[in-house]
Amino acid sequence: AQSVAQPEDQVNVAEGNPLTVKCTYSVSGNPYLFWYVQYPNRGLQFLLKYITGDNLVKGSYGFEAEFNKSQTSFHLKKPSALVSDSALYFCAVTGDTGFQKLVFGTGTRLLVSP
């Protein structure tokens, strides 16, 4: 069965500094990986996804994620954080073998201070 781990409950970063939100996964077959963001009292918004191809995926709002097959990781990154990036971030994975559900991590709260 597939699984996702987001090892940090919260990440704190100063505005203007680079940020990384970590995600590792386990899946049967080739992974399909997603990042979503949730602002307070809102649904999840899609940020980016990896299916195949280039290991560096670019997404919305200046975010990008790096797929690393050997480390089974898909960390979310941004070169320069904004206060408005403060939100809850979810990593999710499914696999291309049979019908597999999308499994979400427990979420990482990003707090960007001015």
Interacting residues toward other proteins by CB under 8 A? 32, 34, 36, 41-46, 49, 51, 90, 94, 96, 99, 101-102, 104-107
Are 81 and 16 contacting, i.e. CB atoms less than 8 angstroms apart? Answer: yes
Nearer to other proteins, 81 or 93 (CB): 93
Length of the chain in residues, anyone? Answer: 114
Nearer to other proteins, 82 or 88 (CB): 88
Q: What is the distance of C-alpha 37 from the center of its chain?
A: 8
Nearer to other proteins, 4 or 19 (CB): 4
Radius of gyration of the chain measured on its C-alpha atoms: 14
Sign, CA torsion 108/74/16/7: positive
**Measured from the CB of residue 23, what is the shortest distance to other proteins in angstroms?**
12
**Measured from the CB of residue 42, what is the shortest distance to other proteins in angstroms?**
6
